[in-house]
Amino acid sequence: MGTWRCVKQCGACCQLDPADRPDLEEYLSPEELELYLSLVGGDGWCVNFDHSTRECQIYPDRPRFCRVQADVFGDLYGIEAEELNDFAIACCQQQIEGVYGGRSWEMVRFNREI
């Protein structure tokens, strides 16, 4: 496996529909869950995701649970720092496939980057 990188103008992780993430309460604190749910728009996408540019409008100030960092993934999912790369790649591939499809341009771009 390659090295994880965020692919700009993908946005698959910004599809926040709680129906697709039934285990939110298992890893988010009550405060984080409240924040998460407040970010979900009527269409299931994050209210801060700009569909025209396909970018996060608050990227530098995005919530902790939106950050792919060893300390965050350790706290939320119990992932050790040395497991982060492979875990993040698998998460992105699963999310991209669910949102755009396994043969989508977004998946092709992600797989090229890693």
Q: How many other CB atoms sit within 10 Å of the CB of residue 27?
A: 15
Can you name the residues that pair with 55 across neighbouring β-strands?
50
Write out the H or E segment, with its range, that includes residue 79. Answer: none
Query: What is the rounded distance in angstroms from the CA atom of residue 81 to the CA atom of residue 70?
Result: 5
What confidence score (pLDDT) does residue 26 get? 95
Cα gap 64→72, rounded to integer Å: 7
Closest CA to 6 of 99, 92, 102, 105: 92
pTM above 0.85, yes or no: yes
> What is the tens place of the pLDDT at every residue in 46-102?
999 999 999 999 999 999 999 999 999 999 999 999 999 999 999 999 999 999 999
CA atoms of 104 and 97, how far apart (whole Å): 8
Per-residue model confidence (pLDDT) at position 38? 98
